[in-house]
Structure 1
């Protein structure tokens, strides 16, 4: 609970509920008359230092061939596939490989942000799908912010209390993916992580800013957030945790999500790649340029983000939920949230130009717990 409230998520067998466990990658669930035991594997081995390229080797061509080969592994399984396209370099590279892999049909889907950033994003997406001759479905994210009426949270439908803040918007995207008959959806997940310049041998995540409305029980538990962590996995930890938020809703619709950029072979390739080819996603961007895409697609000056959509949802629908929470709250009753601190945050949010996005985590957890009652 404290990890969720304080945005210090950890990859572990632990969940919000006693008796419910997460089967982490390569772990084994052993169930006997004595009960259930989760057995963690040994830590995965990783490349400690990048290697030097041989003379004459072109990393862009090597990456092109590898990623397309990884995507093409699904050709025997699915004829109709989709790609989540954001307008960034990660999903752009996945889209290039998907169209080159030989599927019967490829459709693209994605969220469009609002404002100037959204207009630039729309131009990038249109340039990509038109260049490749794909059929695209774009969902305006500002129409589906967190806690929007008609969404899973507002309707109190049973859902994961620790679910993603963009769940309402992506629920609409996922419904389009399923309606098109896509059996597999390729995503650009993990692109940031495989291009990052840091050790792959640590499972620790960066500390987040402190939450001023943490209750006494949650504050006491802060010292234990790093207990019972899963060992170092094959894939980057943040990517695996994002899978836990993003993928289950696809699976419930019968769609299998795949993130080719973190296929183990691609992870290994990227770990060995000299950093100058990963800095600023240089190799990813060079591949887009070679494919004939314009510079504003290969290297956008203002990449999209979800912050404006989150702010819209918090301002319009989150603050009334806060008022309701101050009157009656499971988190306050359980000692995880301090009512005085939350009341101060509510007062500040009313007057502040931007509602603190940390409130989204608290509200989502409260609403999610109520949905399961």
Structure 2
């Protein structure tokens, strides 16, 4: 844990984020144990909070702050049972090796610390406990969500949702699960698919009190920017490049430690990787190569980006990986349905990054959303409001065959509500993608950084006129300046994992077992035997076979089994 031993001036004791990280440092972040924020809190705890073995304890209550080279932790106390923690994403944290220290003062000290925390430009988490109440507040970033569970007698929180499975029931949130089964989508927000598990999403408060349990609420919207008139003297590509450079530079640690970059061969990851290299960091790139001709073209694009820019490139062949269903066969294996279903390829990729000394992993997530068209800019009016409610007859027929009214009726209501969720600086799909990869990276000790999902870049890109967002013209011109092969900018389609999913549909006993959907059938979501019949029709060559419905059923069924296994261990 890292914190300041002085409470006189909180700002003075935190290292300012340097505009240009110091590359001359002679030490690199040492490997640490898996980062943790584990909270166990009850109303029965008495006495004062104490520091012990890198955590805060009060009787049976405990708070274990995150421990990672990209984080600082400051702890404050203004009374016998009143404590507060500020946990900050901080690129210079690795240079501060001081242990967790509880600073004692008055209410003004805590108020000052909270105000400074809420003005921190990167990701942060504020925690405050007093008497029988605990309060949490998250930053506007979706970098690392916190998961919550508990009842009127006690509260628990953890960065890894799977770590909380043993304390929750295998019971789904009806409307959200119905929406997920209908759409294979989970709206970004505080409620998860499980009735007893919440997520402290970006710009949310969570409050637990004895007698009421958790209450999670948004504390402020951040409406996205919209297109504006471009000044004649503005170079959008140069402006975007400068912001991308600043965003990356302020987020990365000083020193010679290698930086991992996910490199798919597309424009988004290319822009991030080439900028990190241009800033002088030692870049290690990693990518999953798809099978067939698409993979060959992808490999060629990756090589064109990586050559002379990265210190080492590690491609992993997806064709050599197990089916995506293989890990679902064992309920004891960590699994949450909102995480990456192609878990094993990414797990191997993250293990390789750690083996090469990386502790920070950059992605190109969010690029699709940065340059998306607005509804009134849609080509041919296909996305116009009057067409938004047009139903696909084949999809409606499949849903009627598969699902009960619990999905067909309640799921439709939740789908309508999803369109009215809290506004953020980035689209909900981008926020959800960022939040969804956090736990898997952190299980390996990797801190995730997503430059394209930053408030500054999102605001700039959203404000650009359509002619600069269409076909990602801004990125294309930025990559041209970086000297990247024009094939990267001209690639007509992103990589698709469809061939990897198809392998399981062709022949997989694990999938056959999961789509029997025993738990979902018992809970009243799926009609008995319907998913099995759909899989058989799909294997027989039927069109419109509803692959996404089958995947959603398998994912939910596997997660319910994992929770059941955890609660019985």
Give the TM-score normalised by the residue count of structure 2.
0.60
Q: Give the Cα–Cα distance (whole angstroms) in 2 for the partners of residues 360 and 265 of structure 1.
A: 36
Map 1:69-148 to 2 at 5 A: 69-76=246-253, 79-103=257-281, 105-144=282-321, 146-148=323-325
Instruction: Give 1 or 2: higher strand fraction.
Output: 2
* 1:22 Cα offset (Å): 1.0
Partner Cα distance (1:164, 1:76) in 2: 27
Q: For the structure 1 residues 325 and 91, does the alpha-carbon distance in structure 2 shift closer, same or farther, using more than 3 Å as the test?
A: closer
Q: Which runs of 5+ in 1 are unaligned?
A: none
Supply the distance in 2 between the matched residues of 1:231 and 1:158 (Cα, whole angstroms).
29
C-alpha distance after superposition, 1:333-372 (max 9, x if no partner): 1111112422320221121178642112211221222122
Say whether 1:241 aligns with 2:418.
no
Distance (Å, rounded) in 2 between the aligned partners of 1:295 and 1:328 = 47
Two-structure CA RMSD over aligned residues (Å)? 2.5
- Provide the rounded CA distance (Å) in 2 between the counterparts of 1:328 and 1:3: 17
1:3 aligns with: 179
Contact 2:285–2:310 at 8 Å: present in 1 too? no
- How do 1:254-333 and structure 2 match up within 5 A? 254-317=445-508, 320-325=509-514, 329-333=518-522
Q: Alpha-carbon deviation of 1:235? A: 2.0
Matches of residues 131-210 of structure 1 in structure 2 within 5 Å?
131-144=308-321, 146-149=323-326, 152-156=327-331, 157-198=333-374, 209-210=395-396
Deviates more, 1:297-306 or 1:119-128: 297-306
Task: Say if 2:224 and 2:424, in contact at 8 Å, map to a contact too.
Answer: no
Q: Distance in 1 between matches of 2:541 and 2:245?
A: 47
Q: Which structure: greater helix fraction?
A: 1
Q: 1:185 offset after TM fit, Å?
A: 0.7
Q: What is the distance in 1 between the residues matched to 2:339 and 2:505?
A: 16
Q: Contact between 1:145 and 1:310, CA under 8 Å: does it hold in 2? A: no
Give the C-alpha shift of residue 329 in structure 1. Answer: 1.4
- Rg larger for: 2
Residue 221 of structure 1 pairs with residue 397 of structure 2: no
Cα distance in 2 for partners of 1:23, 1:218 equals 26
Equivalent residue for 2:561?
Answer: 370
TM-score (norm 1): 0.89
Q: 1:263 to 1:107 in 2, by over 3 A?
A: same
SS in 1 for 2:251: coil
CA contact (8 A) 1:146 1:314 kept: no
Q: Give me the whole-angstrom Cα distance separating, in 2, the residues matched to 1:310 and 1:326.
A: 14
Give the aligned length.
363
Larger mean CA deviation between 211-220 and 336-345 belongs to 211-220
* Inter-CA distance 63–338: structure 2 relative to 1 (3 Å threshold): same
* C-alpha spacing 1:4/1:128, structure 2 compared with 1 (3 Å): same
